[in-house]
A and B are shown apart, each in its own frame.
Chain A
């Protein structure tokens, strides 16, 4: 029954990383197949029309991290990708005030001064540190992480590169760097700022997508992870992909198909086929089988190895390491179709900062308490959210005069506590609605008419994201960004170079270094490793220069 097609390489999962790997391999002349369980491609970078006339970026929703080297290599603009920076942002208070994060530096300084004159220069000091750290880390994103336990020439070379870069910082900056990487975003902000609202506004980037609180050590790094991207060289800037995040996947897909790649949608991998420790292909859920000596999995490390690989094909300690890899669902999402632009009574009419990211959290304590709820298996009763109305800038997202709003909500647990038990099954329709109500109540603090404006709303819990996209627990990074899961530890110590214990099988998703976000770096780095293994030239893969 099954059909047997032979390929040079198969990529399991058409997320942005899988497609990136596929593009590079196809452009290197290989015959490549991408298989995807959904009827559409993109994984968590999708534009979906769930209510007629509206487009939702219903998972990832803004773009900054996508490496410019990859965009250029794969000529994504030729396939329609357009990234437009957005304008500032704001945090609203319950009593009708707000902190506006103006993109205009002078206006931002005036706004900070309005809240706390002592914080004006502090903001520049904060930015200086963050940008310095970004400059330090960015070159590592498009390199494989060295294995410090290895004596292989390449590992030693990479290690030497790291040591050289670190040494180049000088004693003080290196110490400051060590400190920054191990700090909590809360402590970092407390060191710089006096004003609670300003701190709360800046803290969000330290927790988005993680199972950590603002006072958990390591969250300063998470903030960095959100700042190390750029839009046209403006480090830390974020933008919209015109037409929604699916535009990125579409461009990658078109690029791949132009290079004679083939995409099969509608049936996911049932299992990875292994013979004598070597990968030989994949069997799909619909019974089809495809053969290739190289198989790259875009699924997260748990899904790949615990659900779709026969345990007997894997060393026991590897499986154990995969089991303890932490992929924690911590965020939910609301995608909302609006019949008109909602009103923000606190803000001046047509304020440009409304076209940026909006929040209603007013202190670090509030954010930390939101985390405490999550630890106990509850959604935050006073949640943090990152809310945008992209249709103000991108006319393709909603019918003229109507709007689309995306609300990323932190925290929401995967295994919800109900009746004394924690389980993903507890996410009933009723509880989903209660979760959404909690978020709407909070949005009303900034936007009292929000409920009247809603035409349609999609409520996504970690459970829903897992079901639809395939991300374990709905974790947006395919694995927590903690010290034990970064660099050479990601995803499993000894397997940070995208290879796996199965010969010819690679991991190309965000579970691998350098981690999550719509960055495509894992996909590109993995492609480089695969090509190197095959003895092909790798100089065309995301070379930094």
Chain B
């Protein structure tokens, strides 16, 4: 006899866990299957370090809001706190007012867009006659009213900048330097895009839904994953690690359950996959999908661009021009918008960046520097040889050392994860932070692909619940939660 559940969730990343929690909270029996021997997926210390987004309801964890410092080659580092910019020396920043105005405007707009992120993307196929269609329309109308409430000038500004690029947005308001550089690097971190790419204002807003602050989880990213897991368990979900899903059982176009790596099978009328679209198709069998759907999944843009360098230290490095306390902030090396754009160029051609944009933190109480390196290509032309890994590590260390003299002598060891490593370790498509590029062409109704935007994934009972689904990446749990809501709405579980 095979075990039976109301729903099976593939993958115990935060989205899988979030989906499981939502379903379990509604009284459904849920089993989460994780191929690795631990939960969390990409939400682990080795791969991530900061939260850009609020934790969902029900997920409890200690976090600490931290400042951002954008390093300046001339030593006049810029400290950012809640949209207020000043020099690290305490001196006022000449562009602080313009920056604040822009920052607040983006935060306001981002809050409006939040209503879109919180449920399935607006469908286009419901028509106006059905109840579901009316619900859709009322949700869109709510957004419309919110936008309208901004007043005509702000509404026009909203519509103008929504699809534009962060390069122009920033440099229209202030001269180039570490201050706009910081926002530009936030806009493109994790993305296969440079500040000049249209769509980067939207990705920036996506990051600003939390009011523009970043938080350091107490005890590291692993605790966040654990908090998600705790919430799911508390609701009654059964989480099993070390059990991979080898296939989704489909009969007569209906999901019956899954087969597992231990040779068993579990039955459920609903299967939610936090894997990418192509991996999910392969689990359920390519013949179960339409040819166009497979083609779209093949063409999904998911080229990871983010590397992680973990530097174990023998002591705490000192950053010239920063106090010890300031050095505990999120440190950015993004000296100008132009530099961030320049850093993207090599990634386009499968080459290593020579001056990458960096985000680093020293987690509390640890002698460890955690560095996120932007714009590292997945498909390095020369291949990810030891030599290439060494070159990238050296480039990053040299870039940091320019601000922290003597850093090199304090290094105990380094651990580099390239996008290819991340893909291999977590199964994230292309090692992409967001499982699929958050480009304008892969958002909302077209995320992850045309015809697959509402979590339903072809076969009845099969759903996507990972970051490749709307609203997308970062540790938000929202794709998981929205997907679970769709499952409940469809009445399959």
Contacts and interface: CB of A to CB of B under 8 A. Distances in A.
Interface of A: 148-149, 170-172, 174-176, 178-180, 182-183, 187, 190-191, 212, 215-218, 317, 324, 326, 365, 368-369, 372, 375-376, 482-484, 488-489, 493-494
Contacts of B342: 376
B199 A182 contact: yes
A484 B155 contact: no
Contact of B441 (A182, A369, A484): A182
Contacts of B69: none
B325 interface: no
Contact of B161 (A176, A215, A217, A484): A484
A130 to B, nearest CB: 16
Q: Which of A179, A180, A190, A368 has the most CB of B within 10 A?
A: A179
A218 B446 CA distance: 15
Given A215-B348, A217-B199, A494-B156, A483 B164 contact: yes
A482 B440 CA distance: 13
Contacts of A494: 152, 156
Contact of B445 (A149, A170, A178, A482): A178
A179 B450 contact: yes
A182 B124 contact: no
Contact of B440 (A174, A217, A375, A376): A217
Given A216-B197, A217-B440, A484-B163, A493 B446 contact: no
Interface in B306-342: 341-342
A493 B157 contact: yes
Contacts of A217: 193, 197-199, 439-441
Interface residues of B, number: 39
Q: Which of B125, B450, B453 has the most CB of A within 10 A?
A: B450
B146 to A, nearest CB: 14
A148 B345 CA distance: 37
B299 A482 contact: no
A149 B152 contact: yes
A180 B299 CA distance: 14
Interface string B159-184: 11111110010001000000000000
Contact of B159 (A215, A369, A488): A488
7 tightest Cβ-Cβ pairs between the two chains A and B: A171-B125, A182-B440, A493-B156, A483-B163, A484-B164, A171-B124, A175-B450
Given A175-B446, A216-B197, A326-B168, A317 B153 contact: yes
Given A149-B152, A149-B155, A365-B349, A482 B446 contact: no
Contacts of A368: 348-349
A86 to B, nearest CB: 32
12 contacts: A172-B450, A179-B442, A182-B199, A217-B439, A317-B153, A326-B168, A365-B349, A368-B348, A484-B160, A484-B161, A489-B159, A493-B157
Nearest to A187: B301
Contacts of B453: 175
B451 interface: yes
Contact of A493 (B123, B160, B441): B160
B196 interface: yes
Contacts of B301: 187
A381 to B, nearest CB: 14
Nearest to B144: A148
Contacts of B439: 182-183, 217
B441 A175 contact: no
A484 B161 CA distance: 6
Contacts of B160: 484, 489, 493
Contacts of A482: 164-165, 198
A179 B441 contact: yes
Q: Which of A170, A212, A218, A482 has the most CB of B within 10 A?
A: A218
Contact of A174 (B124, B148, B163, B199): B124
B380 to A, nearest CB: 15
B163 A182 contact: yes
Interface in B259-287: none
Nearest to A191: B299
A414 B442 CA distance: 33
A369 B349 contact: yes
A191 B299 CA distance: 6
Contacts of B155: 149
A172 B453 CA distance: 11
Nearest to A220: B441
A212 B199 CA distance: 13
A488 B442 CA distance: 23
A57 B164 CA distance: 34
Interface in B195-226: 196-199
Given A179-B450, A183-B439, 18 more contacts: A148-B159, A149-B148, A149-B155, A171-B125, A174-B124, A178-B441, A217-B198, A217-B440, A324-B172, A375-B196, A376-B342, A483-B163, A483-B198, A484-B161, A484-B164, A484-B168, A488-B159, A493-B157
A317 B153 CA distance: 9
A171 B121 CA distance: 13
Interface string B345-362: 100110000000000000
A170 B199 CA distance: 25
B338 to A, nearest CB: 8
A369 B351 CA distance: 13
Contacts of A489: 159-160
Contact of B156 (A149, A178, A212): A149
A111 B160 CA distance: 43
A460 B198 CA distance: 29
Nearest to B346: A372
Contacts of A174: 124
Contacts of A149: 148, 152, 155-156, 159
A17 B453 CA distance: 43
A531 to B, nearest CB: 26
Nearest to A365: B349
A368 B350 CA distance: 13
Contacts of A175: 124, 445-446, 450-451, 453
B54 to A, nearest CB: 27
B27 to A, nearest CB: 33
A183 B442 CA distance: 9
Nearest to A487: B159
B452 to A, nearest CB: 10
A375 B299 CA distance: 28
Contacts of A148: 159
Nearest to A150: B152
Contacts of A216: 196-198
A482 B199 CA distance: 11
A481 B125 CA distance: 30
A178 B124 CA distance: 11
A211 B453 CA distance: 32
A184 B469 CA distance: 21
Contacts of B341: 375
A493 B159 contact: yes
Contacts of B349: 365, 368-369
Interface string B99-134: 000000000000000000000000111000000000
